[in-house]
Amino acid sequence: MDNRMNEPNQNEQNSIFITNLQHGETVNYSLVIIKGIITYGACNNYEKIRCKSNRNKTESFWEVYNREFKVLIELEKGDNVIDLEFTGLHKTNLLLRYEPRKTNLRVTPVYIICQGHDGCFQCPPEINNSIESACARIAIGSKIIQSVTAEKLHESGVGRKTFQLEHEVDTKSPECLVFRSALNVNKARKMKQDELWTHFGRELMLSELGSNERKFLGFISCTRFKGTDIDKPFTHDENVSNTEAYAALGGGGLALFGTACLYTWPSSVSEIVPKLLDPNPVNNKRFMDDSGYRGTIGGCFATTLGSVFHELGHTFDLGHTKDGIMGRGFDNIDRVFLVGEKRSAATKDNNNFNGKPVQHSTVSLQRNINVTMNVAEPLRVLGPRSKTTLGNFVSMSKSDIVRRSPNVTPITRPSSVYSTITNRMADSKRNANRNNGNDSVYWTRNCAVLLSYHRWFNNEFGRERQAITRYLKFDKNKMMILSTAGLRIVEVRDESNGMVLDSYEFTNVLPEKRFLLPFTFSAKSKVLTIVVEDDLGNVLKQSFTY
């Protein structure tokens, strides 16, 4: 339903035009971004748009800049009627239905408390750092990522799809689970992030929560920035080396993070935009400054939320891309929620104090941890209960799980080789992606296609029996890929860092059943990984040399 009035003399009550949602639309996530414009009539940058829902009766007010506005509202299950009003003259309402998908596949936020730790995360004295506060912040962050995932897939043209959270699948579950680890806090603080990832992944799968129908989004309570009395700005690497129980890794069935900057996150929907705009400086002598050299509380929230977004993408089988969310594009996640001058000011990409390119992240473009095991050909890709996913932590050795420990190194610009062969697509598609939502945050085409057919993003019931009767086969000698269900995307990645070198998408109604892989790539490494997804969301990952 188009809310825009074409006639300039129409009643001004209809001059609020919602640009991203349709009246009566159904969504499967609760936190919704409503974007729109005031089409005509008096409008200034000082008045705010009022939002009120018939379900919770609370009012909220949102900035309008050059007639553009963005509203965040949390829906209740079922029908929600949202009233929008601007200056008392411009009025409209929007009907949205919130209905989670019927699936057992879910993302499970967990707050991990080590043995001997009280569960209180590091923060300034005026901040509530209780376990309850941590869970509230993690729950809000999870909903934000769920919402932005859907919005960016919608802008990519593949539908407003996203994953379901634990409490949406199991209505008796809290929005963030507390997990008591047997790992001693002192030992945890001496471990490297890949060691923490391996330990907690195995421990979660051996617990009552263990299930291949879950992807865990874990946060470690005992992360601690050791502090310093040195009065100078620090590089990202120096900050990481000065932080205990630090992690920012994702892959397989676990995305794991430290909590050194969790105090900068909001604990309610009403705090999201104020937190992003918070200009107060980080006390970098006492607390980790992971703000991408912006030095502010708002920068810390945006950067760490973006890194969680990026790493969770790896658990959905996404590789690294030259740009976009799986490259460096997640740094601008704050732009998704801001309008006008505040959006521009908050994301200015300056050089750091050494004049080096800015690194806006805890994440380095390294080889993401891959827990999917290679199976002898022909490969029969199993359903969600397959023993080839995170569940195999129980029987796999550490060397099996992490075949090569990832090197945490600063991001560098791709070489000319990568620049010419990464994510080949038409310039028109690339430019369209960059302009999605006018906020510089987007999925590259290959990521959007892979997610749109992924099992965690589609209705699973009724497809599982069909899925386990299909197989994918990659013949390395003939460079031929065969699929009985039909191919949807083929990617070639550099084994050393997970960078997508080339991708081929098949989005016609009837997908291809076979594909001869062109030998057009030239990676730095002689080891490549082929990643294939079929029409039912089965994913094959297989390494080969050339």
In a domain, 244, yes or no: yes
End-of-domain residue from the set 336, 356, 382: 336
Residues 267 and 138 grouped into a single domain: yes
| 133 shares a domain with 80 | no
Structure confidence by residue, pLDDT tens digits, 43-54 = 888 899 999 999
Q: What is residue 298's predicted lDDT score, i.e. its pLDDT? A: 96
Q: Given a cut of 50, is residue 542 above it in pLDDT?
A: yes
Pair (215, 304) in one structural domain: yes
Q: For the segment 353-401, what is each residue's pLDDT rounded down to a tens digit?
A: 333 333 333 344 344 444 433 333 333 332 332 333 343 334 433 333 2
The answer to whether position 435 is within a domain reads no
DSSP H or E segment with residue 312: helix 297-315
**Which is it for the CA torsion 99, 105, 106, 107, positive or negative?**
negative
More confident: 343 or 152: 152
If we measure between CA atoms, which residue out of 328, 271, 274, 293 comes closest to residue 444? 328
Mean pLDDT throughout 14-21?
Answer: 92
What type of residue is 65?
Y
Mean pLDDT, rounded, for 398-418: 28
- pLDDT tens digits along 100-157: 999 999 999 999 999 999 999 999 999 999 999 999 999 999 999 999 999 999 999 9
52-61 pLDDT, tens digit each: 999 988 899 9
- Tell me, what CATH number does 159's domain have? 3.40.390
Mean pLDDT of 407-434: 32
**Is residue 112 one of the residues assigned to a domain?**
yes
CA angle 188, 190, 194 (to 5 degrees): 75
**Percent of the chain as helix, strand, coil, to the nearest 5:** 25, 25, 50
Q: Is the pLDDT of residue 2 over 90?
A: no
Between 518 and 359, the higher pLDDT residue: 518
Per-residue confidence (pLDDT) for residue 392, from 0 to 100: 38
d(CA 247, CA 219): 9
The whole-number pLDDT of residue 407 equals 28
Angle 84-87-89 from CA coordinates, rounded to 5°: 75
> 89 with 115, same domain?
no
- Is residue 476 located within the same domain as residue 527? yes
| Whether residue 221 sits in one domain with residue 78 | no
Residue with the larger pLDDT of the pair 381 and 93 = 93
Top-confidence residue, 404 or 440: 440
Percent above pLDDT 90 for the chain? 67
Residues 64 and 113 in one domain: no
| Residue 511 reports pLDDT greater than 80 | yes
Phi (first) and psi of residue 521, to 5 degrees: -100, 155
- The answer as to whether 380 is a domain residue is no
Global pTM? 0.84
Q: In this structure, are 222 and 290 located in the same domain? A: yes
**pLDDT score for 459:** 87
Residue range 464-483, pLDDT digits in tens: 555 555 788 999 889 999 99
Confidence of residue 232 (pLDDT cuts 50, 70, 90): confident
Write phi, then psi, for 278 (nearest 5 degrees).
-65, 110
User: Residues near 111 by Cβ (< 8 Å), separated by ≥ 6?
Assistant: 119, 131, 134, 135, 138, 176, 177, 178, 179, 218, 219, 221
Q: What is the reported pLDDT for 340?
A: 79
Tell me: do 91 and 142 sit in the same domain: no
- If asked whether residues 76 and 224 sit together in one domain, one would say no
pLDDT of residue 41: 82
Q: Tell me the percentage of the chain whose pLDDT exceeds 70.
A: 77
What pLDDT is attached to residue 526?
76
Sheet holding 254-257, edge to edge: 177-184, 106-115, 214-220, 254-257, 248-251
Are 150 and 216 part of one and the same domain?
Answer: yes
Q: What angle do CA 106, 316, 299 make, to 5 degrees?
A: 95
**pLDDT, tens digit (0-9, with 9 covering 90-100), for 297-329:** 999 999 999 999 999 999 999 999 999 999 988
Position 484 in a domain = yes
Grade residue 525 by pLDDT with cuts at 50, 70 and 90: low
Are 111 and 94 contained in the same domain?
A: no
**Structure confidence at residue 436 (pLDDT):** 54
pLDDT, mean of residues 81-88:
94
Domain CATH for 36 = 2.60.40.10
Is the pLDDT at 198 greater than 70? The verdict is: yes
Asked if residue 342 is part of any domain, the answer here is no
Tell me: pLDDT of 276 over 50: yes
Interacting residues of 210 by C-beta distance below 8 A, sequence separation 6+: 204, 391
In-domain check, residue 115:
yes
Q: What is the DSSP letter of 255?
A: E
Domain boundary among 80, 98, 116: 98
Residue 353 lies in a domain: no
Number of domains in the chain: 3
**Domain residue limits at 296:** 106-336
CATH number at residue 517: 2.60.40
Confidence of residue 521 (pLDDT cuts 50, 70, 90): low
The residue among 57, 81, 98 that closes a domain is 98
